[in-house]
């Protein structure tokens, strides 16, 4: 067969992209889109290899060329599998280069042995060249056959090239459709070209929301006369779940500093707080905008913009790279001085010490009220764990042995929680030395939680069980008695609480309620998606019923459902905190009530115009 090497690579791409599509329940059309991109690439590269090999007959260059191409193909599919699994979206070239720039530190942050990881990488690279060498004679013969076939069809090839040139405007339109449809190679190389209905930044819905908020912000600025003076510090710890803090009753002393704050009477915890989703993109934006994800817009009226307009000096110090991460920083960075891990001169960009480095650059307090947003990465999978916090062992998994178990994962996570707690202590100390801690309110929370094997799930993004969405909420203030609701809260309640504490009216666009009041939301809406939050494939709703004492809930139902209602789960979390007893078949009255609530709120929940 003259084109057998070409058919092998095309067949490999078809097999791998089909598995990818099936595993992550993606639209089947992505297979067609991807093959429309992959086949021409394979044709071009293998054809060039054939022509060059027929001319040179060099076995060395044959092994290098074919081995390198097979390595690139394998690496691409490994990336799209891994990134969608761990992050819920395809990793972009911009994000990839950020990690490669810090490859040594990134590998050190992984929960596997550093030596084993390097061994695996070297083996992964070597095997492609070894196989190319072993089969080089057969590969060479296949390339010679293809080169001869191409010579026989030279006129046809030239004619096709002319047709392609003449049809280039049409090809650009086809390319745009494929790119907008989410073809993985296009997304990796050029980021998303979002469709009108699913763009998390610039869809028609969000453009309308942003425009309305811009007008609301102008009016708010004109009508507001309050002069708040209290400093505000918002600390968001990436992937920090509440039940692994000793402050929330965990068996290990993982949060000694936060414990001490609460014991001193200067801080209090909210007993139960839920994140808007299980991903950073919507978690952070929902906190800042006091909105569910489908109502978040780039130009939305958020807490940073509100305080900036009130004369605050506003700062965002990020461990990580929010400008690289699907341009998430665009939601808030225009209204503050922005510093993230890529600006660090000393540390890995996901090492939380970059926050202290950035804070060193900020001058001391000078009677102008200030707002700080700190984003920690300690508890995230890719956050760097410093050796001195590795208290609970073993915490490194093994690729080759039976070390990959629940205990190891929990030990590593608890070590990271211990580190996050100490980083927060160091931030308090640094802020105190600069004078910002005096007359301040501080909010400590998380953008989402983290699965550690519960329900067979590790990580976050695609799941809505309590390990992924139950987050801590600790408030530090000199007047804790003002906070009348320390029972139940949501992400969207944080910004209203800050505004209320500063005696500022809450913007009409915000959806949350202030925790200074004893009113508690009876229904709470949350969401996630299997292929990035822009798709909205999976949503869920929580219904909450407070007890007569208003200190703990008497009943708390969580209703998890897919948009097509083909999958439903119902749990009562007070009696079943592990979410092991699905009540869908028994609690029909509650289920019908929640279904009805979903229907009546369909526009709000699903974002339909």
What is the residue extent of each domain of the chain?
Answer: 4-190, 215-243+265-384+420-519, 537-609
pTM: 0.84
**pLDDT tens digits for 299-326?**
899 999 999 999 999 999 999 888 887 7
**CATH second-level architecture of 215-243+265-384+420-519?**
3-Layer(aba) Sandwich (3.40)
Residues 375-420 pLDDT 10s: 999 999 889 999 899 999 877 665 544 444 578 889 999 999 999 9
CATH number among 3.10.129.10, 3.30.1120.10, 3.40.47.10, 3.60.15.10, domain 537-609: 3.30.1120.10
Q: How many CB atoms lie within 10 A of CB 61?
A: 13
Instruction: Note the pLDDT of residue 158.
Output: 67
Task: Quickly count: other Cβ atoms within 10 Å of residue 261's Cβ.
Answer: 23
For residues 486 and 550, give the distance between their C-alpha atoms in angstroms, rounded to a whole number: 9
What strand order describes the sheet that includes 272-274?
A: 470-471, 272-274, 488-490
Contact (Cβ atoms closer than 8 angstroms) between residue 526 and residue 539: yes
What whole-number distance in Å separates Cα of residue 485 and Cα of residue 475?
12
Mean pLDDT of 348-368: 94
Res. 607 pLDDT band, cuts 50 70 90: very low
Q: How far apart are CA 345 and CA 350, in angstroms?
A: 13
Residues in the chain: 609
Higher pLDDT, 146 or 276: 276
Long-range pairs of 26-35 with CB within 8 A, sequence gap ≥ 24: 26/182, 26/530, 26/531, 27/181, 27/182, 29/181, 30/181, 30/182, 30/183, 30/184, 33/178, 33/181, 33/182, 33/183, 34/183, 34/184, 34/185, 35/10
pLDDT higher than threshold 90 for residue 175? no
532 or 95, which is more confident: 95
User: Is pLDDT at 537 greater than 70 in this prediction?
Assistant: no
pLDDT in tens, 540-576: 667 666 554 445 667 888 888 876 667 788 999 989 9
HSE (CB half, 13 Å, CA atoms) of 367? Answer: 0
* Locus of tokens 């209090």: 268
Query: What pLDDT is attached to residue 531?
Result: 42
Q: Is the peptide bond before 295 cis (omega within 30 degrees of 0)?
A: no
Q: pLDDT tens-digit profile of 474-499?
A: 999 999 999 999 999 999 999 999 99
pLDDT digits (tens, 9 = 90+) for 61-96: 889 999 999 999 999 999 999 888 777 778 888 888
């Amino acid at each position: 067969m003259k084109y057998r090497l070409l058919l092998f690579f095309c067949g490999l791409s078809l097999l791998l992209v089909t598995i990818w599509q099936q595993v992550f329940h993606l639209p089947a059309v992505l297979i067609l889109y991807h093959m429309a991109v992959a086949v021409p690439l394979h044709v071009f590269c293998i054809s060039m290899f054939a022509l060059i090999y027929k001319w040179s007959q060099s076995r060395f260059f044959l092994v290098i060329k074919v081995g390198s191409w097979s390595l690139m193909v394998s690496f691409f599919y490994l990336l799209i599998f891994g990134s969608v699994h761990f992050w819920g979206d395809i990793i972009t070239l911009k994000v990839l280069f950020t990690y490669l720039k810090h490859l040594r530190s990134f590998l050190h942050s992984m929960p596997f042995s550093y030596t084993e990881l390097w061994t695996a990488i070297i083996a992964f690279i070597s095997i492609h060249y070894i196989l190319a060498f072993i089969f080089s004679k057969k590969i060479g013969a296949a390339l010679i056959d293809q080169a001869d076939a191409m010579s026989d069809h030279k006129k046809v090839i030239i004619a096709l090239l002319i047709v392609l040139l003449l049809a280039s405007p049409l090809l650009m339109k086809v390319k745009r459709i494929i790119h907008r449809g989410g073809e993985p190679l296009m997304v990796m190389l050029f980021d998303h070209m979002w469709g009108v209905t699913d763009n998390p930044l610039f869809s028609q819905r969000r453009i309308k929301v942003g425009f309305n908020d811009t007008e609301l912000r102008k009016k708010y600025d004109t009508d507001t006369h309050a002069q708040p003076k209290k400093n505000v510090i918002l600390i968001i710890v990436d992937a920090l779940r509440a039940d692994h803090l000793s402050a929330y009753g965990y068996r290990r002393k993982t949060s000694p500093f936060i414990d001490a704050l609460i014991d001193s009477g200067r801080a209090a915890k909210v007993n139960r707080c839920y994140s808007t989703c299980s991903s950073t993109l919507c978690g952070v934006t929902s906190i800042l905008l006091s909105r569910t994800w489908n109502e978040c817009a780039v130009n939305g009226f958020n807490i940073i913009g509100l305080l900036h307009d009130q004369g605050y000096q506003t700062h965002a110090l990020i461990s990580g790279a929010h400008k690289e991460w699907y341009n998430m920083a665009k939601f808030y960075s225009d209204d503050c001085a922005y510093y993230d891990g890529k600006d660090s001169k000393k540390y890995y960009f996901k090492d939380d010490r970059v926050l202290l480095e950035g804070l060193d650059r900020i001058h001391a307090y000078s009677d102008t009220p200030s707002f700080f947003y700190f984003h920690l990465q300690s508890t995230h999978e890719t956050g760097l764990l410093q050796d001195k916090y590795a208290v609970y062992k073993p915490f490194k998994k093994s690729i080759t042995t039976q070390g990959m178990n629940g205990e190891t994962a929990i030990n590593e996570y608890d070590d990271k929680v211990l580190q996050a707690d100490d980083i927060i202590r160091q931030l308090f100390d640094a802020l105190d030395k600069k004078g910002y801690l005096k007359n301040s309110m501080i909010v400590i929370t998380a953008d989402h939680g983290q699965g550690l094997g519960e329900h067979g799930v590790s990580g976050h993004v695609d799941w809505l069980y309590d390990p992924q969405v139950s987050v801590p909420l600790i408030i530090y203030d000199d007047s804790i008695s003002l906070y009348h609701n320390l029972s139940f809260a949501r992400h969207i309640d944080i910004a209203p609480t800050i505004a209320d504490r500063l005696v500022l009216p809450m913007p009409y666009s915000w959806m949350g309620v202030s925790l200074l009041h004893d009113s508690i939301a009876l229904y709470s809406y949350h969401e996630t998606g299997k292929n990035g939050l822009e798709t909205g494939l999976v949503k869920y709703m929580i219904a909450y019923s407070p007890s007569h004492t208003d200190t703990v809930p008497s009943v708390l139902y969580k209703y998890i459902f897919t948009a097509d209602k083909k999958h439903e789960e119902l749990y009562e979390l007070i009696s079943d905190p592990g979410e092991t007893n699905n009540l869908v078949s028994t609690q029909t009255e509650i289920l019908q009530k929640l279904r009805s609530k979903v229907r009546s709120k369909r526009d709000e929940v699903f974002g339909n115009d």
